Amino acid sequence: MIATTRMRLTLVAALLATVAGAVVAQGIRVRTGPITVNPRITVNPKLDFSSMHFDDDRPGPDSAQVSALLTSLSSTDATVCEIAVDNIGNSWGPSPASEIGSLRDRSAADRAARAVYTGRVRDAGAIRALGPALGSENPCVRRGAARLLGHSHEAAALALLRAGLRSATPQVRESAALGLGMADDHESIDALVAALRDQDPYVSRMAAYALGEIEDERAIPALIRELGSDQAATQKAAIWALGEIEHSSAVRPLLPLLKNPDAETRALTARALGEIEDASATAALGDALGDRELAVQRAAARALGEIEDASAVPALLRALGSDDAGLRGDVVRALGEIEDPRAVDGLLRTLRDPLPHIRAASARALGEIEDPRAGAPLAAALSDEDRNVREAALHALGDLDELTAAPPALINLLKDRDPEIRQQAAHALGEIGDVAAVPALAAAFRDENIEVRRAVVRAIGEIEGASATETLAAAMKDSDPEIRREAARALGERN
């Protein structure tokens, strides 16, 4: 009994560990898909994992392992089960970081159990074992089976899912729709469109979700019809799906939903319009910045940033004075993405915001706009008490157009205690190209940190003038081959 229990825990832990190692090693964002079961609740927000995949070189679990996993999922705590199922399909496989970061008593059996689930389910017996689980009384088990089948891509797995969508049991149809979305099965578009009219609201909601996952434009007319559904969850799923498909034909039908009585619907609509990135939605989203609900205001600000239409700048500048820090941050980032010089004065004000993350975002936005009027304020921000603000200002100064005079505060950063700051300062000075900075850069060429010295040589290579050439000639004798190559390249471009 103890051994069996341990095996079950190992299987669940293996799934949890799989994505943990991948996230640590790769900095990957993970999406989980919808986990709500109440048809009045919207589809959960999705984080992107389009770059994630199973390891195709691994065989994947066999029938015994799949059966053991399903048993483990059914008997474990519901929250643990959901977390484990979320990790199905979200893995690059074991990495050096995940192995090095392992605790001392992690056994070889644990590592082997984890490795199995970095492969797709190919085993015919394993696929057959997953079929009945689509109708399990345990919703987490159903979801786990759907995800495993969806990520299998084997013909037998797709056949099970397609048959499940025709089942007389609503829970099976719902699970099958989820799996078909995970499988990105374009051949099931017509069946999923038909499932939008399913009498069970859970099934219709999941069909809309699946169509959004597949992102096939053939589904757009049917999804647009569901914008008028009397089932709130299906309507919201259709909004989300249209945003995922990103086709401009959905903009006009979506716009009226920005006035929907339900705040969640309005926010979801704003998000979808941002995903589509069509400028015809700009005016309506600008109005939504004045919505009575903060969540809608923030969704509208983020959407306007994605659309990058300069006509949104006046409305965004009005929202820049919000008392809510979250909205101010969203607006600052949107103005940076739009890159319109009219935003400079407003961003210079938020560069003095009481909150450091707003100041840092403002510095980054000013760098994206590249207006030289921000030069002196950004130079002043180099002495900000917050490191993130200082770094953002440093990067932004190097991005400004027509800034020909390097601020003294920037030159002084070549003496900063932090070698990373010294390296970034050298890069920014190279971008500015001010010959007056060459003496300081030449002195910094004696820096004890090799990365700083390399950055200094690259920066000097960007600056014209005899003094810069002399320093590059000296760098040709450096012991570091990369410095010599960089110096040679720069000197070659001068001749």
User: What residue has token string 């890069």?
Assistant: 427
Least confident of 20-34, 51-65, 126-140, 370-384: 20-34
**For the chain, what's the residue count?**
495
pLDDT at 56: 60
Instruction: Report the share of the chain in percent with pLDDT over 70.
Output: 86
* Boundary-marking domain end, from 230, 245, 260: 245
pLDDT at 493: 85
pLDDT at 42: 37
**Contact yes or no for 273/253 (Cβ under 8 A):** no
Q: Quick check: 47 pLDDT over 80?
A: no
Q: Is residue 130 part of a domain?
A: yes
Q: Compute the distance between CA of residue 137 and CA of residue 494 in angstroms, rounded to an integer.
A: 74
pLDDT at 34: 42
pLDDT at 51: 36
Q: Quick check: 44 pLDDT over 90?
A: no
Q: What is the 3-state secondary structure (H, E, C) of the chain?
A: CHHHHHHHHHHHHHHHHHHHHHHHHHCCCCCCCCCCCCCCCCCCCCCCCCCCCCCCCCCCCCHHHHHHHHHHHHHCCHHHHHHHHHCCCCCCCCCHHHHHCCCCCCCHHHHHHHHHCCCCCCCHHHHHHHHHHCCCCCHHHHHHHHHHHHHHCCHHHHHHHHHHCCCCCHHHHHHHHHHHHHHCCHHHHHHHHHHCCCCCHHHHHHHHHHHHHHCCHHHHHHHHHHHHCCCHHHHHHHHHHHHHHCCHHHHHHHHHHHHCCCHHHHHHHHHHHHHHCCHHHHHHHHHHCCCCCHHHHHHHHHHHHHHCCHHHHHHHHHHCCCCCHHHHHHHHHHHHHHCCHHHHHHHHHHCCCCCHHHHHHHHHHHHHHCCHHHHHHHHHHCCCCCHHHHHHHHHHHHHCCCCCCCCHHHHHHHHCCCHHHHHHHHHHHHHHCCHHHHHHHHHHCCCCCHHHHHHHHHHHHCCCCHHHHHHHHHHCCCCCHHHHHHHHHHHHHHC
Least confident of 5-19, 57-71, 225-239, 373-387: 5-19
* Boundary-marking domain end, from 224, 245, 266: 245
Q: Is residue 278 part of a domain?
A: no
* Boundary-marking domain end, from 245, 277, 310: 245
Q: Is residue 123 part of a domain?
A: yes
Q: Quick check: 425 pLDDT over 60?
A: yes
Range of the domain at 459: 417-495
Q: Is residue 393 part of a domain?
A: no
Q: Compute the distance between CA of residue 88 and CA of residue 4 in angstroms, rounded to an integer.
A: 22
CATH number where 182 lies: 1.25.10.10
Q: Compute the distance between CA of residue 5 and CA of residue 268 in angstroms, rounded to an integer.
A: 43
Q: Per the structure, how many domains does the chain have? A: 2
Least confident of 78-92, 228-242, 293-307, 457-471: 78-92
Q: Is residue 308 part of a domain?
A: no
pLDDT at 360: 98
Dihedral sign of CA atoms 180, 184, 185, 189 in order: positive
Q: Looking at residues 460-481, what average pLDDT do you find?
A: 89
Global pTM value: 0.83
Tens digit of each residue's pLDDT (9 = 90 or more) over 348-363: 999 999 999 999 999 9
Q: Quick check: 18 pLDDT over 70?
A: no
Q: Is residue 396 part of a domain?
A: no
Q: Compute the distance between CA of residue 94 and CA of residue 111 in angstroms, rounded to an integer.
A: 9
Tens digit of each residue's pLDDT (9 = 90 or more) over 110-146: 877 777 888 899 999 999 999 999 999 999 999 999 9
Instruction: Report the share of the chain in percent with pLDDT over 90.
Output: 77
Q: Quick check: 3 pLDDT over 80?
A: no
pLDDT at 106: 80
Q: Is residue 369 part of a domain?
A: no
| Best-predicted range by mean pLDDT (56-70, 302-316, 394-408, 461-475) | 302-316
Average per-residue pLDDT in the chain? 88
**Contact yes or no for 301/293 (Cβ under 8 A):** no
Q: Quick check: 37 pLDDT over 50?
A: no
Q: Is residue 56 part of a domain?
A: yes
Which residue, 383, 271, 231, 226, is CA-closest to 45? 271
Higher pLDDT, 51 or 479: 479
Q: Quick check: 5 pLDDT over 50?
A: no
Q: Quick check: 495 pLDDT over 80?
A: no
